Amino acid sequence: MADVQVVVIGAGPGGYAAAFLAADLGLKTALVDPEINPGGVCVYRGCIPSKALLHVANLLAETRHAEAWGVSFGEPKIDLAKLRAFKDNVVKRLTGGTGLLAKSRKVQYVQGRGEMVDAHTLRVKLAAGGEQTLTFDHAIIATGSVPAVPAPLKLDDPRVMDSTSALDLPDIPKSMLVVGGGYIGLELGSVYAALGSAVSVVEMTGGLLPGADRDLVDVLAKRIGQTMKAVWLNTRVVQMKAEAGGIRVTFEGDKVGSEIQKEQVFDRVLVAVGRRPNASVPGLEATKVVVDPRGFIVVDDQMRTAEPSIFAIGDVVGEPMLAHKASHEGRTAVEVIAGEKVAFAPKAIPAVVFTDPELAWAGLTETQAQKAGRTVAIAKFPWAASGRALTLDRADGLTKLLIDPATERILGVGLVGPNAGELIAEGVLAIEMGANATDLKLSIHPHPTLSETLMESAEVFFGQSTHVYKPKRS
Ligand code: NAD
């Protein structure tokens, strides 16, 4: 008999959700990770600490905005050590909690790094020293992803940061360059800008957040244009050099030499140009597990690899690299191991960018519909027509629905505005439940709330929105 029925390698939100469910289903389970408690990149060095800092950034932005409402607080004094302690305590509380949850469920938590010996044996190099060998019936690889750093952006200097070191908040630099206008660049760039750094963003494509719908991004870009010192699109970094006075960066692009100075010096640089899968589990080659040319472990819709005893989930199996996708894949893998006939087949995986305003979408996007040549009806409700948005002095938001013109089913939802990340959950439910525009229109939403913008978008589809006069074209 094997030591455990299930061993999960990697204790991020994918891995620990899987291990906890396996234990709940009565399977003897081990969870292996180098950290002292479950949490992974998301809780220790990603989603959670960044949200703690973004909460403070939003507060600072609100206090500045309050001047327009006749309330002035003066210049904020920032105690960096205390701010770091707040963020670190959030992480400590949460990981302490997941540690306790593992214990109460009798999940054997092994602190160390796993190496595959064969398709049923894992050797763990223990964090405390020494080794432990675990035999298993099934393994779930949940080793996540690591920051991708292309050669021109590699510089061994503490002033060049990735998301992990940026979250350590070493100081508030006078000037900072963010390379990459994606999730991490915009979220962490916003934090530093709110704290007082002059932040410039360089993005190699023609727009921020490539992949997201432009009408939503435009609203965010407008505000980012006010809070950041500069945003340079269609521009890339070709070289970085460490100098005593800062990091000298050389740019390349259409506007370099005219609107953008070719060489500039920054106090700090944050490199956030994407993440790559972490399939580098030693010994994996001793199994039949297949890794594709991009570095993702190949799995089917039941999260099975080519090795019957081994499953894989989360960032290491493919995009989107999001914690909530990993958790659901992890739970699917465990249910399959437990003998249930299930597959990972979501209609909508929500994406949220926690900037100010927040940007969120779920299901089909307009960009995807255009690429696929698919005809969809689009109903938009501008937040300028929302009473609640006006009470927040945030008329800049937008809610949109993508609707199948034949069945009137909701295929996609997009939102930009404060709390978009919370509001999108209703869109996910609507898409997953096969709701149509009438369902959304007839569901009574509380007044006055931002959630009404979803209901009124459905009313817009029928040309009957109370607060937008836009008759339906016949
Ligand atoms: P990203 O893919 O979101 O953005 C990277 C950006 O860098 C892209 O816009 C890309 O065009 C640009 N880029 C690439 N090479 C460049 C270069 N040489 N010069 C200038 N720009 C360049 O990646 P990220 O921001 O590093 O985040 C990684 C992943 O982590 C995300 O894709 C997401 O899955 C996850 N994440 C999610 C959240 C969230 O859910 N809120 C937050 C942070 C990270």
pLDDT in tens for each of the 474 residues of the chain? 999 999 999 999 999 999 999 999 999 999 999 999 999 999 999 999 999 999 999 999 999 999 999 999 999 999 999 999 999 999 999 999 999 999 999 999 999 999 999 999 999 999 999 999 999 999 999 999 999 999 989 999 999 999 999 999 999 999 999 999 999 999 999 999 999 999 999 999 999 999 999 999 999 999 999 999 999 999 999 999 999 999 999 999 999 999 999 999 999 999 999 999 999 899 999 999 999 999 999 999 999 999 999 999 999 999 999 999 999 999 999 999 999 999 999 999 999 999 999 999 999 999 999 999 999 999 999 999 999 999 999 999 999 999 999 999 999 999 999 999 999 999 999 999 999 999 999 999 999 999 999 999 999 999 999 999 988 776
CATH value at residue 445 = 3.30.390.30
pLDDT digits (tens, 9 = 90+) for 338-372: 999 999 999 999 999 999 999 999 999 999 999 99
Q: Check whether residue 232 and residue 314 sit in a common domain.
A: no
Other CB atoms within a 10 A radius of the CB of residue 378 amount to 17
Per-residue burial over 72-106, b = 16 or more CB atoms within 10 Å of its CB, e = otherwise: eeeeeeeeeeebbeebeebbeebbeebbebbeeee
- End position of a domain, from candidates 299, 315, 337: 337
**Does residue 370 sit within a domain?**
yes
Among residues 310, 340, 344, 308, the alpha carbon closest in space to that of 327 is found at: 344
Q: Check whether residue 203 and residue 62 sit in a common domain.
A: no
What is the number of structural domains in the chain? 3
Ligand 1, residues at Cβ distance < 6 Å: 150, 179-185, 187, 202-205, 210, 236-237, 272-275, 320-322, 352-354
β-strand pairing of 29-33 with 4-9: parallel
CA of 10 to the centre of ligand 1 (A): 22
**Does residue 466 sit within a domain?**
no
Catalytically active residues are: 447
**DSSP per-residue codes, 124-156:** EEETTSSEEEEEEEEEEE---EEE---GGG---
Amino acid at 282: P
CATH value at residue 66 = 3.50.50.60
What pLDDT does 471 receive?
A: 85
**Does residue 470 sit within a domain?**
no
Q: Check whether residue 447 and residue 373 sit in a common domain.
A: yes
Please state the separation of Cα 382 from the chain's center in Å.
25
Q: Check whether residue 365 and residue 319 sit in a common domain.
A: no
Residues 183/163, Cβ–Cβ less than 8 Å: no
Q: Which atom of ligand 1 is the closest one to the Cα of 153?
A: 18
Q: Check whether residue 213 and residue 287 sit in a common domain.
A: no
**Does residue 472 sit within a domain?**
no
Going by alpha carbons, the residue nearest to atom 2 of ligand 1 is 274
Q: Check whether residue 43 and residue 171 sit in a common domain.
A: no
Q: Check whether residue 160 and residue 249 sit in a common domain.
A: yes
Q: Check whether residue 280 and residue 143 sit in a common domain.
A: yes
Q: Which atom of ligand 1 is the closest one to the Cα of 275?
A: 28
What pLDDT does 372 receive?
A: 97
Q: Check whether residue 139 and residue 284 sit in a common domain.
A: yes
pLDDT digits (tens, 9 = 90+) for 301-336: 999 999 999 999 999 999 999 999 999 999 999 999
Q: Check whether residue 369 and residue 402 sit in a common domain.
A: yes
What pLDDT does 465 receive?
A: 94
**Does residue 342 sit within a domain?**
no
Q: Check whether residue 161 and residue 224 sit in a common domain.
A: yes
The model's pTM is 0.96
What pLDDT does 267 receive?
A: 98
Both tokens of residue 91? 């992480």
- End position of a domain, from candidates 226, 241, 273: 273
- End position of a domain, from candidates 244, 273, 302: 273
**Does residue 200 sit within a domain?**
yes
What pLDDT does 474 receive?
A: 63
Q: Check whether residue 356 and residue 330 sit in a common domain.
A: no
**Does residue 474 sit within a domain?**
no
Going by alpha carbons, the residue nearest to atom 26 of ligand 1 is 274
Q: Which domain holds residue 33?
A: 4-147+276-337
What pLDDT does 154 receive?
A: 94
CA of 184 to the centre of ligand 1 (A): 6
Going by alpha carbons, the residue nearest to atom 15 of ligand 1 is 273
Three-class secondary structure of residue 401 per DSSP: strand
**Does residue 344 sit within a domain?**
no
